Amino acid sequence: MFRRFVLAFVTLLLIVSMVPTAYGQGPVTVKLWMHVHPPRVALDEELIAQFEAENPDIDVEYTTVPDQEWDTALATALASGGGPDLFNQATFAMGDFYNQGILAPIDPVAAGYADVQAIFDAYSFGDSLLAGAVFDDVLYGLPTELSTYACYANDDLWAAAGLDPATDFPSTWEELKDVAEQLTIRDESGALVQRGFDFHWGNSIFTLLIFNPMVQQLGGNMIDEVNLTASIDTPEVRQVMGYWNDWVNTWKLGGPQYEIDRTAFLAGNLATDCDFGNWGVPQMVDAGINYSIHPQPRWAEAVSNNAMATYAYFFMVNSGASPEVQAAAWKLAGFLTDHPQEYFDVAGLFQSKKSFVESEAFAENEIMPIFLQEMGVSLYHPRIPGFFEVADALMRGRDRIIVGGESMDVVLPELEQEVNDILARAAAR
Amino acid sequence: MTEMTQQAAVRTRPTLGKRFRLWLADLRHHPGQVIWLAIALALAVSFAFPLYFMISSSFKAESEVLAIPVHWTPQDFQGLLNYQRALETVPLARYFMNSFLMAGIDVVVTVIFSAMAGYGFAKFDFPLKRLFFVFVLSTIMVPFQILLVPLFIEIHSLGWDDSYAGLIIPGIMNAFGVFMMRQFAYAIPDELMDAARMDGASEPRIFAQIVFPLLSSASASLAVIIFLFSWNNFLWPLIVIKSQEIMTVPVGITVFTQPHSAQPQWAVAMAVSTLATLPVMLLFVFFQRYFIEGFVLSGLKG
Amino acid sequence: MQRRQIWGLFFVLPTVIFFAIFFLYPIVSGLLFSLTDFTLLRPPEWVGLQNYADLLKDRLFLKSISVTLGFVLGTTVPVWILSLLAAKVFYQRFAGREILKVLFFAPVLPSLVVVAIVWRILMNPSGVMTTLLRPFTGLGEIDFFNNPTLSPISMILINDWTTIPFYMLIWLAGLTGIPLELRDAALVDGANRWQSFLRIELPLLRPTAVFVAAISTINAFQAFTLQYAISPGRGGPIDVNTTMGLLIWKYGFQFYRMGDASTVSVVLFALILIVTILQLGLSRGEQYSLE
């Protein structure tokens, strides 16, 4: 009796707020949510006005949400039955949203394609790059921004050490260590004044964007996103963890205690950095860094040629919206993703539409072919429910070994168990 | 308010030269105090130093802030350049407006309703009085984290997500204010109110024209403290704010603490921190007496 | 009901109703949420005491309890002693006292977010603090935030810096309330300063002492902002800074585990309640007035 009362009470709490959306006659309204990204917003607004003029029966309600608030904002909005009809979702937490049944499969005809295959054909490396929005062989979105990391060298710091990035840039992690050593400057007390290269230690998601791809190069993979299981106590993980550990504790070339690599690179205190995307270029220009861009190193004995993880943002449609609204939303998504050159020129957002990638303008671009080439061979990070919780656990495990000095024999099996538990719990909700 | 400003101004006016001479004379007559002076000086310098470093770094070039070896003073003096950059990086004017709005509403509502409730608890008898008072007072003891999740959901079901209402209303009252005002209201002689009642004044009128003015000193102490808490409030705004339009200063400036923020902007972060602290510093300098009184009475630090 | 009674209610009810809506209601619903598997993405389902049972096996939660207790110990005891000593200094009569008191008090003013930014610069591995400590340590780099042993100590130091001046002021108010004659009488009786402090002042300061202990404990239990804004990975390294306050945020707003977040909240509440009751029990018979 008490139990039922409580349950009713708690459910009531939520239901009170669920204002039913009325679908009347007249024009359809599509609620669109995008991230705050100032250069893009103006272009969005311009194109939306054009779209509304061409489609008088569709109104677009445009909202921007800051990046760091996005997942919570979307989750709460969807929980209340409100929320957007069309939204620009990053691949990171996408697994949670898919798991909740929030995503609607793509409607190719409404989006302006003959069928789903035509969509894959319209993109360069369509199979691997659209994979970010594929679950169980069904496509759920159209990409607005595709990203992966490449290596940036600070040409001046390299020259000062007597090195030329064009010829000396290492192609393997083993060589990277030697080159980084030459680029490292220490003061008389042994404190690091300039680092040659360092990883991104500060944010847990890099365990899945950088660490895991290094494991994948060796043929392993920490997370199976289909079966939602972890395999972490493996020789491949040990090799990569050993390398990161030596980086900090044996070779003393860097580590989590120093300024974040990106910040240090832009301040001219780090000679090489391998986790900037193509979006890093304007920052280099602002900071006055002479840079050159290079592919990621691989292991000498790599079995997979993947670089760092691919990640992306996709237009996705709320499965809770009515069919008319869904169709209108896909139509809008199709329209907005049909301007890849403008989005790249104005906002630096890359979409691998063949119409753009095969153009002369793209071929003449100094850096994008490198990024596209890396993306073509790379893999998406795992898109799992509980993404951030898993990343958090992986970082804790990493730090137990590297910062806390615990043995991998103890930590890795425990970590594997912990991540398996998280995945099981996240999948069940 | 104007009266207090004048008082403060008058108090700080006596010429510095004269004060300094008096100080020296005092020191010469009582040499024993030199030890205490030295200890207090060491304490004051070491506690104020981080704030000195914050302000001085806000005038440094970016590369100077973390320079090795440390730059104790700006060597490449930037003027207001970092402040200008801060204004370009984030809509700081908007953050300040929101923070002032939130703090202003918090102060006004807390002072008025605390005075009302304090007066009611002190001077009236009514059913359930004791229960009500203990209930209001007990809210002081409960940590905010307990409320965080359910309050967030409550605000959500009220449809106040990401709005001024959701940001401001849940924190608009403070049980401590009620308690403090009650203490002060006790001290008001009943005869004052009774005389007014004889003259036929209504109860709201007695409160507004007789009681509230007598509580003005307590109100000032309460006001500065509430302003400080509200200005520095972080956890609730962090949870409830989504959009830039209603962002307050403490939440807005976390952009500069994010490890993955794009640009190295330590000098700009120092400029922003200085700006964010400026209003409470000014308030403290001008209303020091009320501040200290309020602090001692409240026993709270946000 | 009499007219006067109605007016009394008129003055009091707005406040009471406010606290009922924004205090009592969320507390009750928080208790109920802790009995569900609420995820924010879906309506809650009843799970009974399952969350509580799960927490007992949850390493992050168990760790957060010891982290929180460590922080509470590190911030209450030293703060209690040091703020009393500082108050004794500023209680002396000496020239320039007021201006030095203002400088000493300044760290109370900035928000903890600002405090966090400033100290991240001061405690940079080869920054100001390392330089100041070099004569004693001889080290060129000190890893204040990433060393699992040092990191919680750094948080405590920073917290103590912003709170000691504040509690100093409360002690000072207590000291000022002691009649001078009492102390002088003790000195006349041949007691030295230290004895007079122990025998006369400290007993008279007991209400202040209890007050400082209680408030600093309650505040320390709720630690969140410094750990959120400073510690690497929000609570790291290896979660040595994941206080219960931070864990509630992580579970509720990062991991979509609202049910578990509510459960941790309830446990935190219970802990604070127990400790507060213990402290008040120790001072039984003392009536502390805020005046």
pLDDT tens digit sequence for A110-169: 999 999 999 999 999 999 999 999 999 999 999 999 999 999 999 999 999 999 999 999
Residue A28, classed as helix, strand or coil, is strand
Cα A346 from Cα A340, distance rounded (Å): 10
How is residue C247 written in tokens?
């864990």
Spatial separation of the C-alpha atoms in residues C263 and C248, rounded to whole Å = 9
Q: DSSP string spanning C210-246?
A: HHHHHHHHHHHHT--HHHHHHSTTTT-STTTT--HHH
The verdict on A202 touching B (C-beta cutoff 8 Å) is yes
In the prediction, which pLDDT does B89 show?
A: 75
What value does the mean pLDDT take over residues B236-260?
78
Q: What is the mean pLDDT of residues A21-34?
A: 71
In chain A, what residues touch C38 (CB-CB under 8 Å)? Answer: 10
What distance, in Å, lies between the first and last C-alpha atoms of chain A? Answer: 25
Contact predicate A328/A337, CB 8 Å: no
> Could you say which DSSP state residue A69 is in?
G
Query: CA-nearest residue of chain A to B66?
Result: A259
Where does the pLDDT of residue C288 fall: very low under 50, low under 70, confident under 90, or very high at 90 and above? very low
User: Could you give the CA distance from residue C243 to residue A139 in angstroms, rounded to a whole number?
Assistant: 41
Q: Contact, B82 vs B256, CB < 8 A?
A: no
Residue type, A355: S
Torsion of CA C225, C226, C229, C235, to 10 degrees: -100
**Tokens of residue B28, six digits:** 């010469």
**Amino acid making up residue C19:** F
User: Quick one: average pLDDT of C83-99?
Assistant: 87
Report how far residue A353's alpha carbon sits from residue A130's, in angstroms, rounded to the nearest whole number: 11
Contacts of A36 in chain B (CB under 8 A): 244
Q: State how far the Cα of B6 lies from the Cα of A202, in Å rounded to an integer.
A: 51
- Closest chain B residue to A15 measured between Cα atoms? B157
Q: Do residues A370 and A376 lie in contact, with contact meaning Cβ atoms separated by under 8 Å?
A: no
| Cβ within 8 Å of residue B66, ≥6 positions away | A259, A267, B266, C121, C124, C127
User: For chain C, what is the domain count?
Assistant: 1
Residue in B53, B257, B292 closest to C128 by CB: B53
- The rounded percent of chain C whose pLDDT value lies above 90 is 29
- The pLDDT value recorded for residue B6 is 45
**Domain locations in chain B as residue ranges:** 14-46, 90-265+273-298
Q: Which of A16-25, B210-219, B220-229, C72-81 bottoms out in mean pLDDT, i.e. has the lowest? A: A16-25
pLDDT at A22 over 70: no
Q: Is the pLDDT score of A247 beyond 70?
A: yes
Q: Compute the nearest-CA separation of A306 from chain C (Å).
A: 27
pLDDT, tens only, A64-98: 877 766 877 787 777 666 689 999 999 998 998 89
Give how far the C-alpha of residue B271 lies from the chain's centroid of Cα atoms, to the nearest Å.
20
pLDDT at B91: 86
Query: CB-CB: which of B135, B147, B284 is closest to C26?
Result: B147
Show the domain range for C149.
28-282
Q: What is the CATH number of the domain that holds C228?
A: 1.10.3720.10
Q: Is A180 exposed, middle or buried (0-12, 13-18, 19+ CB in 10 A)?
A: buried
Q: In A282-351, which ranges are E strands?
A: 291-294, 311-318
**What's the pLDDT at A19?**
37
Chain C residue whose CA is closest to B288: C102
Higher pLDDT, B248 or A8: B248
Min Cα separation A83/chain B (Å): 12
pLDDT in tens, A191-221: 788 999 999 998 889 999 999 999 999 999 9
ipTM of the complex: 0.84
Residue B158 distance to chain A (closest CA, Å) = 6
Predicted pLDDT at C283: 63
Q: Is the dihedral of CA C125, C128, C134, C136 positive or negative?
A: negative
Residue C132 clears pLDDT 80, i.e. is over it: yes
Query: How far apart are the C-alpha atoms of B139 and B150, rounded to whole Å?
Result: 15
- Report the percentage of chain A scoring pLDDT > 90: 65
Q: How many residues make up chain C in this entry?
A: 291
Residue of higher predicted confidence among C162 and C234? C162
Would you say residue B28 has pLDDT above 60? yes
Rounded Cα distance between C18 and C20, Å, is 5
- Dump the DSSP string for B220-242: HHHHHHHHHHHHH--HHHHHH--
Q: How far is CA A127 from the centre of its chain?
A: 17
Q: What is the mean pLDDT of chain B?
A: 82
pLDDT recorded at residue C1: 62
| CB distance A139 to A371 below 8 Å | no
Q: Does C270 touch chain B (CB under 8 A)?
A: no
- Contact between chains at B243 and A13 (C-beta distance less than 8 A): no
pLDDT at residue A2 in the model: 47
CA pair distance B160, B153, nearest whole angstrom: 10
Residue that has been written with the tokens 């025998």 in this structure: C199
For chain C, the chains sharing at least 3 beta-carbon pairs closer than 8 angstroms are: A, B
Please report how many Cα atoms fall inside a 13 Å half-sphere around the Cα of residue A268, on the Cβ side: 15
Q: What is the dihedral of CA C24, B227, C220, C212, to 10 degrees?
A: -100
- The whole-angstrom separation of Cα A155 and Cα A175 is 18
| Interacting residues of B172 by C-beta distance below 8 A, sequence separation 6+ | B105, B106, B109, B110, C18
Which residue on chain B is closest to A264 by alpha carbon? B264
Nearest CA in chain B to A82: B159
Cα–Cα distance between C67 and C239 in angstroms, integer?
8
Query: How many residues can be counted in chain B?
Result: 302
Which member of A13, A192, A399 has the closest CB to residue C237?
A399
Question: Token digits for A123?
Answer: 């993109």
Q: Which amino acid makes up residue A209? A: L
Question: What is the predicted pLDDT for the residue at A10?
Answer: 47
CATH architecture of B90-265+273-298: Orthogonal Bundle (1.10)
- pLDDT category at C228 given cuts 50, 70, 90 is confident
In a domain, C55, yes or no: yes
pLDDT at B298: 58
**Top-confidence residue, A61 or A36:** A61
Copy the structure tokens of residue A107.
Answer: 């409607």
C154 neighbourhood in chain A, CB within 8 Å: none
Rounded (to 5) percent helix, strand, coil in chain A: 50, 20, 35
Which structure tokens are listed for A80? 């209340």
| Closest CA relative to residue B98, chosen from B164, B161, B152 | B164
Q: Sign of dihedral through CA atoms B67, B72, B77, B83? A: positive
A139 sits in which H/E element: strand A138-139
- Give the model confidence (pLDDT) of C8-63 as tens digits: 999 999 999 999 999 999 888 888 888 888 777 677 788 888 889 888 888 899 99
Q: What is the mean pLDDT of chain A?
A: 88
Helix H, strand E, coil C: the string for B131-182 is HHHHHHHHCCCCCHHHHHHHHHHHHHHCCCCCCHHHHHHHHCCCHHHHHHHH
pLDDT tops 80 at residue A429: no
- Mean pLDDT in residue range A5-12: 49
For residues B29 and A373, give the distance between their C-alpha atoms in angstroms, rounded to a whole number: 83
Q: What are the CA-CA distances from residue A328 to residues A26, A28, A320 (Å)?
A: 13, 7, 14
* Torsion-angle region of A195 (φ positive above 0: left; ψ -120 to 50: alpha; else: beta): beta
Q: What is the pLDDT of residues A377-419, one digit of tens each?
A: 999 999 999 899 999 999 999 999 998 899 999 999 999 999 9
Does residue A26 have a pLDDT over 80? no
pTM across the whole model: 0.83
What's the per-residue H, E or C state across C79-118? Answer: HHHHHHHHHHHHHCCCCCHHHHHHHHHHHHCCCHHHHHHH
With residues binned 3-state (H G I as helix, E B as strand, rest as coil), the percentages for chain C, rounded to 5, are 70, 0, 25
Taking contacts as CB-CB distances below 8 angstroms, the residues of chain A near B269 are none
> Which among B153, B241, B245, B265 is the top mutation candidate for probing chain A, defined by the most A β-carbons within 10 Å of its own β-carbon?
B153
Please compute the mean of the pLDDT values over residues B72-98 and round it to a whole number. Answer: 86
Helix, strand, or coil (residue A104) = strand
The answer to whether A92 and A388 have CB atoms below 8 angstroms apart is yes
Q: Say whether residue A107 is in contact with chain C using an 8 A CB cutoff.
A: no
What average pLDDT does the segment C88-112 reach? Answer: 87
Instruction: Please give the domain boundaries of chain A with CATH numbers for all domains.
Output: 26-148+310-377 (3.40.190.10), 150-307+385-428 (3.40.190.10)
Residue B265 has pLDDT above 90, yes or no: no
Contacts of A353 (CB under 8 A, 6+ apart): A122, A123, A124, A337, A338, A340
Task: Say how many CB pairs under 8 Å bridge B and C.
Answer: 289
Evaluate whether B40 touches C97 at the Cβ level (below 8 Å): yes
Q: How far apart, in whole angstroms, are the C-alpha atoms of residue B18 and residue B36?
A: 23
Task: Give the distance from residue B242's alpha carbon to the nearest chain A alpha carbon, in angstroms.
Answer: 6
As a whole-number percent, the residues of chain C with pLDDT over 70 amount to 93
CA B71 to chain centre: 32
Cβ separation A66–B263 shorter than 8 A: no
Tokens for C77, please give them: 């005891």
Phi, psi torsion values for A298, nearest 5 degrees: -120, 170
Residue C161 binned pLDDT confidence (cut-offs 50, 70, 90): very high
**A338 has a pLDDT exceeding 90:** yes
- Contact in structure between A59 and A30 (CB atoms under 8 Å): yes
Q: What is the pLDDT of residue B3?
A: 42
Q: Which residues have CB under 8 Å from A85's CB, separation 6+?
A: A30, A31, A32, A317, A318, A321, A325, A326, A328, A329
Distance CA B252, CA B260 (A): 15
Q: Give φ, ψ of A20 to 5 degrees.
A: -65, 135
Nearest by CB: B154 against C29, C248, C262: C29
Using an 8 Å Cβ cutoff, are B179 and C290 in contact?
yes
Mutation target to probe the B interface, by most B beta carbons within 10 A, among A186, A262, A265, A281 is A262
Q: State pLDDT tens for residues B157-182.
A: 888 878 899 999 998 888 888 888 88
Residue with tokens 């603490």: B257
Q: What distance in Å separates residue C240's CA from the closest CA in chain A? A: 10
CA dist., res. A240 & res. A208, Å (int): 13
Q: Which of A322-336, C202-216, C250-264 has the highest mean pLDDT?
A: A322-336
Task: Measure in Å the smallest separation between the Cα of C143 and chain A Cα atoms.
Answer: 6
CB contact under 8 A, B288 and C22: no
Question: Does residue C5 sit within a domain?
Answer: no
Residue of C236, C241, C245 whose CA lies nearest to C218:
C245
Contact A396 C236 (CB under 8 A): yes
Which comes out higher in pLDDT, residue A302 or C255? A302
Residues paired with A272 in a beta bridge: A153, A197
Predicted local confidence at residue A144, as pLDDT: 94
- Is the model's pLDDT at C85 over the cut of 80? yes
Residue C31 and residue C24: Cα distance in Å, rounded? 11
- Residue of higher predicted confidence among B216 and B6: B216
